[in-house]
Amino acid sequence: MEKFTSAAHAPTSHKLTELHHTNEGHLTNRCLVAVALVHIGKPAVPALIGALRDEERDVRKMGALAFGWMREGGAPAVPALIECLGDEDVNVRRQAAWALGEIGEPAVYALIERLSDEDAHVRRNAAWALGRVGEAAAPAIPALTKLLDDEDSDVREAAEEALAEIQARSEEQ
């Protein structure tokens, strides 16, 4: 892992770079920079991908959150977000699943793997993301069906909603 630095990536904003270097290494600043980069949009994508690979889990989590806020604009980050689904930190995995669902990119097979995650929130978010993907998530139907018997009621509900969403979107076509 590396430290996320705006200067190490494509220039996005002199003010953000200045903010980051004012207190180099300060976790709060690096998290705030990741959030602020959302408002810059496409030019900020390389810097935010750097945030997903930061050594600090909170910066990685904020990077994933930022891509979710960008929605379709975060599509170039799908491969990096898929990597985050396997992060050692559960909160990073949760945010990555949520972001993938918001982006709407069919990262189906990586999300299917997360349906068996030990953390119920990750399973729930992966199921939700698959529902957002829609018809392209049809390969997830067997795994989602198994989640209907999950011990966690939120996971069961998310799986049920995802199955309904996949079905509804495939009927729209």
- Which of 79, 104, 129 represents a domain boundary (last residue)? 104
pLDDT of residue 32: 73
- Which of 87, 104, 121 represents a domain boundary (last residue)? 104
| One domain, residues 119 and 163 | yes
**Number of neighbouring beta carbons within 10 Å of residue 171:** 8
pLDDT of residue 156: 98
At what angle are helices 57-70 and 45-52 packed, to 10 degrees?
140
Q: 34: Cβ–Cβ under 8 A, 6 or more apart, which residues?
A: 4, 48, 51, 59, 62, 63, 65, 66
User: How many domains does the chain divide into?
Assistant: 2
Please give the chain's pLDDT, 173 residues, in tens.
Answer: 555 554 444 444 444 444 443 445 566 666 677 777 777 888 888 888 988 998 889 889 999 999 999 988 888 999 999 999 989 999 999 999 999 988 886 689 999 999 999 999 999 999 999 998 888 899 999 999 999 999 999 999 999 999 999 999 877 76
Q: State the pTM of this model.
A: 0.74
Give CA separation, 3 vs 9, 28, 85, 100, 130, in Å. Answer: 12, 13, 19, 23, 31
| One domain, residues 91 and 149 | no
Tell me the pLDDT tens digit for each residue of 11-40: 444 444 444 434 455 666 666 777 777 778
Question: What is the rounded CA–CA span in Å between residue 165 and residue 132?
Answer: 7
| One domain, residues 140 and 163 | yes
pLDDT of residue 173: 66
Q: 100: Cβ–Cβ under 8 A, 6 or more apart, which residues?
A: 78, 81, 82, 85, 107, 110, 111, 129
pLDDT of residue 17: 40
| One domain, residues 85 and 135 | no
CATH number of the structural domain spanning residue 143:
1.25.10.10
Alpha helices in 23-173 (DSSP H): 27-37, 45-52, 57-70, 78-84, 90-103, 108-114, 120-133, 141-147, 153-172
| One domain, residues 82 and 31 | yes
Sign of CA dihedral 101, 106, 112, 118: negative
Range of the domain at 75: 1-104
Name residue 54's beta-bridge partners: 2
Find, among 75, 27, 73, the residue nearest to 54 by Cα.
Answer: 27
Q: 119: Cβ–Cβ under 8 A, 6 or more apart, which residues?
A: 90, 93, 94
What the block records as the tokens of 14 is 């002199």
pLDDT of residue 36: 77
| One domain, residues 141 and 77 | no
Question: What is the rounded CA–CA span in Å between residue 138 and residue 39?
Answer: 34
DSSP 3-state assignment of 2?
strand
